[in-house]
Amino acid sequence: MDSIVLEMSTIIISTAVLCVIAEIAKQPLIVAYIFAGFLMGPSGLGLIHGNGFFSAISQIGVVLLLYLIGLELRPRKFVDTLKKTSLPAIFATLTIVPFGILIGWVSGLSMIQTAYLAAAFLFSSTVVVLRMISEDGNVDKQVFDSSVGMLIIQDIIAVFVLVFMNSQHGNSGSYLTILIFMLYGLFIISLAYFLQRYVLRKIIKKIIHRTDLVFLIGLAWCFLFAELAEILSISREIGGFIAGLSLTCLPAHKLKIFIYKSETIRDFFMILFFFILGAELELGGIGTYSLLITLSLIFILIGKPTIYYFYMRLFRHPKSESKEVSFRLGQISEFSIIIVLLGVSLGHIGHEFSMTIRLLLFASIIFSNYIVRYLPIRKVWGTDLGESPSLLGRILPRRKE
């Protein structure tokens, strides 16, 4: 117990010191969180050990993040957002896969390693993208909604990939497994709506004067559906999102209690998430993948946003919205790590390759933050490409934005 308290104290103190330095130097705070983890972790000073405890509790922040996203959406508006973003997200996903295969082939990977690399490229980090938006402070609401729509589509695809991989491992019929997964999803959504309408509303009506108790009930609601979703192999993150979305039918003054009181606890667990991400990075033995790392980072930071920008403009999203959303998607995701770790457990890939993917996540998060925050290419690229008569200008009609 004493060692856990000591490590928690180390996490808080080191992160606070580096965040103050980052703020003075006008650097993104996410970079400070990650670097603090790397510095204190096994690859740095060795003050934090990889016992899995902090890694597990840091995932609470991801669940709370998705829960709060659900709370701030409205079901009808969420459906409209998905309608606008689903086609660009799906077409971009289909386009990214061949590039992942090409990079794997050029880097000399085996077929199975190439497949995992392409899968890792598909997803952007929900945590990082929304954190960048919150740190910016001047982001348009439409940019936020489109970013959430893109990320939710990616998360759904990621869950399908995980379900498919598990079905192959269990030698069960993959199509039947996916059908069962979809039925489970409908079950959770229906259950959340039913319990919210006929049970939760009555409970909240009786305790509305006790805001602390209302907040506690909201957290219990979140983790109830997060764990139910995990039991049904859907993922805690999606369960938390469904829990939040189901509460949006409540009156606005009741929603504010859930939102405002949950934000602080979410931020603390999110700091843990980024800290542990840095602490778990191991650099030993990945030198043989230097070409892969170089090509992958170029594609993730430049090629991937370009693909998303192209398809958002193709499906008539405004130019400014397209560039703001696409640049923020220039990293890989925690889902990428989950898929790779599953590959290690199945014996498909080795530990060194999985650490290489983790390094790509680490580096792409840091560099994408700098690109979004500092590089003038955002303005130049968005203006020139959107007006190019040789590319999108020939496909899209001109429109006022």
Lowest mean pLDDT among 156-160, 346-350, 363-367: 156-160
Topology given in CATH for the domain delimited by 2-393 = Na+/H+ antiporter like fold (1.20.1530)
List C-alpha distances in Å: 9 to 33, 49, 159, 278, 360. 14, 13, 35, 17, 28
Q: Where does the pLDDT of residue 50 fall: very low under 50, low under 70, confident under 90, or very high at 90 and above?
A: low
Q: Where does the pLDDT of residue 23 fall: very low under 50, low under 70, confident under 90, or very high at 90 and above?
A: confident
Tell me: pLDDT of 401 over 50: no
Q: Where does the pLDDT of residue 285 fall: very low under 50, low under 70, confident under 90, or very high at 90 and above?
A: low
**Distance in angstroms (rounded) separating the CA atoms of residues 257 and 69:** 15
Domain parsing of the chain, residue ranges: 2-393
The pLDDT of 133-151, averaged and rounded, is 79
Residue 292 is predicted with a pLDDT of 92
**Distance in angstroms (rounded) separating the CA atoms of residues 95 and 22:** 36
Q: Which residue has the higher pLDDT, 199 or 393?
A: 199
Chain-centroid distance of CA 179 in Å reads 25
Tell me: pLDDT of 396 over 60: no
Residue 104 is predicted with a pLDDT of 93
Task: Tell me the pLDDT tens digit for each residue of 53-88.
Answer: 666 777 787 788 778 877 777 667 777 878 888 899
Q: Which residue has the higher pLDDT, 65 or 365?
A: 365
Q: Which residue has the higher pLDDT, 265 or 391?
A: 265
Torsion of CA 327, 56, 34, 235, to 10 degrees: 0
In sign, the C-alpha dihedral spanning 353, 355, 361, 362 is negative
Residue 175 is predicted with a pLDDT of 66
- Cβ contact 71:54 at 8 Å: no
Range ranked top by mean pLDDT from 126-130, 155-159, 169-173, 289-293? 289-293
Tell me: pLDDT of 390 over 70: no
The pLDDT of 41-54, averaged and rounded, is 76
Percent of the chain with pLDDT over 90: 20
Tell me: pLDDT of 259 over 70: yes
**Distance in angstroms (rounded) separating the CA atoms of residues 324 and 106:** 31
The structure's pTM equals: 0.76
Q: Where does the pLDDT of residue 15 fall: very low under 50, low under 70, confident under 90, or very high at 90 and above?
A: very high
Tell me: pLDDT of 386 over 60: no
Tell me: pLDDT of 101 over 50: yes
The pLDDT of 205-232, averaged and rounded, is 86
Residue 13 is predicted with a pLDDT of 93
| HSE-CB of 97 using CA atoms within 13 angstroms | 8
Tell me: pLDDT of 96 over 80: yes
Range ranked top by mean pLDDT from 108-122, 176-190, 374-388? 108-122
3-state secondary structure the chain: CHHHHHHHHHHHHHHHHHHHHHHHCCCCHHHHHHHHHHHHCCCCCCCCCCCCHHHHHHHHHHHHHHHHHHHHCCHHHHHHHHHHHHHHHHHHHHHHHHHHHHHHHHCCCCHHHHHHHHHHHCCCCHHHHHHHHHHHCCCCHHHHHHHHHHHHHHHHHHHHHHHHHHHHHCCCCHHHHHHHHHHHHHHHHHHHHHHHHHHHHHHHHHHCCCHHHHHHHHHHHHHHHHHHHHHCCCCHHHHHHHHHHHHHHCCHHHHHHHHHHHHHHHHHHHHHHHHHHHHCCCCCCCHHHHHHHHHHHHHHHHHHHHHHHHHHHHCCCCHHHHHHHHHHCCCCCHHHHHHHHHHHHCCCCCHHHHHHHHHHHHHHHHHHHHHHHCCCHHHHHHHHHHCCCCCHHHHCCCCCC
Lowest mean pLDDT among 166-170, 215-219, 304-308: 166-170
- Cβ contact 343:273 at 8 Å: no
CB atoms within 10 A of CB 332: 29
CB atoms within 10 A of CB 236: 21
Longest dimension (CA), the chain: 65
Distance spanning both ends of the chain, measured CA to CA = 58
Residue 167 is predicted with a pLDDT of 59
Task: Tell me the pLDDT tens digit for each residue of 320-329.
Answer: 888 888 988 9
**Distance in angstroms (rounded) separating the CA atoms of residues 217 and 203:** 9
Q: Which residue has the higher pLDDT, 350 or 167?
A: 350
Residue 334 is predicted with a pLDDT of 77
The per-residue pLDDT of the chain, averaged, comes to 80
CB atoms within 10 A of CB 76: 9
- Cβ contact 62:265 at 8 Å: no
Residue 385 is predicted with a pLDDT of 40
Task: Tell me the pLDDT tens digit for each residue of 164-192.
Answer: 766 555 545 556 766 777 788 889 989 99
